[in-house]
Amino acid sequence: MSVRGLDAAGNWGPAYTMNLVVDKVAPVLVSLTGAQLPTTGAVTLTAPLPVNEPGGFAAAQFWLGTTDPGAGKGTSVPFDVVLGNIVATVPLAGHPSWTQRFNLRMQDAAATGTTRAHTTGTVAPASRSRHRSPAPRWRR
């Protein structure tokens, strides 16, 4: 695709040529694991990077339970890409202990949502001491 601009005096600028890529393929999250940080109560959700997503990711959303709120309607959470994995951090400070299903959906740079992935785990209250409590059990 080539574009060029026209100024108010009627002068055309140089043409700029670039490739236009239309991304219509939704990335697929195939698995999800969870781990709770004992001192903060936050949960990290980790998923392998989808192999069909070369453009990167723009957003992460999570929700609890089995009812999907729909694309774009989950709670936005920060995420990073670490050693080939997407790592999203879910803040849960102040929540009581309970077993819950955690769901994650990503949005790629073209605003296409991934499939959702989930894991189930028991959330424990944040530790107030310097002694670590046993890590909660998580399952896919």
d(CA 60, CA 32): 13
Q: What is the CATH number of the domain that holds 37?
A: 2.60.40.10
Which one has a higher pLDDT value, 33 or 55?
Answer: 33
Q: Which domain holds residue 73?
A: 33-132
d(CA 112, CA 123): 30
Has residue 113 been placed in a domain? yes
pLDDT digits (tens, 9 = 90+) for 69-82: 988 888 898 998 88
Q: Is the pLDDT at 132 greater than 50, yes or no?
A: no
Query: Are the C-beta atoms of 49 and 32 separated by less than 8 Å?
Result: no
**Secondary structure string (H, E, C) spanning 111-138:** CCECCCEEEEEEECCCCCCCCCCCCCCE
Q: Over pLDDT 70: what percentage of the chain? A: 81
Q: What pairs with residue 47 in β-bridges?
A: 86
Has residue 91 been placed in a domain? yes
Has residue 139 been placed in a domain? no
Has residue 69 been placed in a domain? yes
d(CA 93, CA 42): 6
Task: Identify which of 56, 45, 24 has the alpha carbon closest to the alpha carbon of residue 105.
Answer: 45
Has residue 3 been placed in a domain? no
Has residue 104 been placed in a domain? yes
pLDDT of residue 15: 92
Q: How confident is the model at residue 139 (pLDDT cuts 50, 70, 90)?
A: low
pLDDT of residue 94: 61
Burial class (CB in 10 A: 0-12, 13-18, 19+), 91: middle
pLDDT of residue 96: 64
Has residue 2 been placed in a domain? no
Has residue 5 been placed in a domain? no
Full-prediction pTM beyond 0.75?
Answer: no
pLDDT digits (tens, 9 = 90+) for 87-97: 888 887 666 67
Mean pLDDT, residues 30-44 taken together: 79
Around Cβ 61, how many Cβ atoms within 10 Å?
22
What is the domain count for the chain? 1
